[in-house]
Amino acid sequence: MTRGTVLLTGVGRRRGIAAGLAVALARAGWDLALSHWPDYDGRVGLEHGADDAETIAQECRELGADVLLLPADLADPQVPEQLVRAANARGDLTAIVMSHAESVDSAIRTTTVESWDRHFAVNARAAWLLLKAFAEHLPSDVRERGAARVVALTSDHTAHNLPYGASKGALDRTIVAAAHELADLGVRANVINPGPIDTGWMDDEIRAAVTAQTPLGRLGTPQDTADLVCFLLSEAGGWITGQVLYSNGGFRTAD
């Protein structure tokens, strides 16, 4: 039984967190509109295949989900509205999960204006515009049932990953604001900080250091994040809104 359609952003690489989210949501009974941007995956150089998005979509279809693939550059301010309209073609869009990101390492003295602006366009502005379009196109029955859900993924990166961390901080504030400003539309909105998950960016030294700083003694997985996302989108998670939730195995809590 379908729960409606969820728009999930950032589904570009089979190894990424969003791939795990897509499969878990399909298994939980959601139909999916999956946005991805191949140019970004190629530009940052992380492990990916040319057909990763289609592979993820096919796996979700085999679990019974209807899946719509939507290539989309979220740096374009016209794109969020277009994504929401496409995802809501059947009038049953009830959730957005924002797993997209621009993430290119640089520091205070090495960040360019162009990079700063692109990080904020993708990580912060696009989130605002997705929320705005979602609110404007919510089906009336979803509003009446208070069944609209928003979840975004954030990060605690700061030093040497400055534009990424700063723009993710802006994302946090935007989602928390939505929990208040859109509550009359039946929207619940939360942020998840999944901690460090190896989606292809870690080397052996980083893996060892991160594991040593995590009380549970292992790295996080996309499934760890997916479990919490599915809960927040469910009726069982209905009393949680306006929160920045740390689902990170206790990473750095001893610092």
CA pair distance 122, 99, nearest whole angstrom? 11
Residue 169 included in any domain: yes
Q: Which residues contact 205 (CB under 8 A, 6 or more apart)?
A: none
Residue 27 included in any domain: yes
Phi, then psi, of 240 in degrees rounded to 5: -110, 120
Task: Count the domains in the chain.
Answer: 1
CA pair distance 57, 159, nearest whole angstrom? 35
pLDDT at 203: 82
- 168 by Cβ neighbours in 10 Å (0-12 / 13-18 / 19+) ranks as buried
The CATH number of residue 126's host domain is: 3.40.50.720
- What letter does residue 73 receive in the DSSP assignment? -
Task: Report percent pLDDT > 70 for the chain.
Answer: 96
Domain that holds residue 171: 5-246
CA pair distance 57, 8, nearest whole angstrom? 12
Residue 251 included in any domain: no
Residue 65 included in any domain: yes
Which has more confidence, 41 or 11?
Answer: 11
pLDDT at 50: 72
Residue 213 included in any domain: yes
Q: Which residues contact 243 (CB under 8 A, 6 or more apart)?
A: 176, 179, 190, 191
How confident is the model over 41-87, as pLDDT tens digits? 778 767 677 789 999 999 999 999 999 999 999 999 999 999 999 99
How confident is the model over 164-188, as pLDDT tens digits? 999 999 999 999 999 999 999 999 9
Residue 253 included in any domain: no
59 token code pair: 């796996």
Residue 184 included in any domain: yes
Residue 252 included in any domain: no
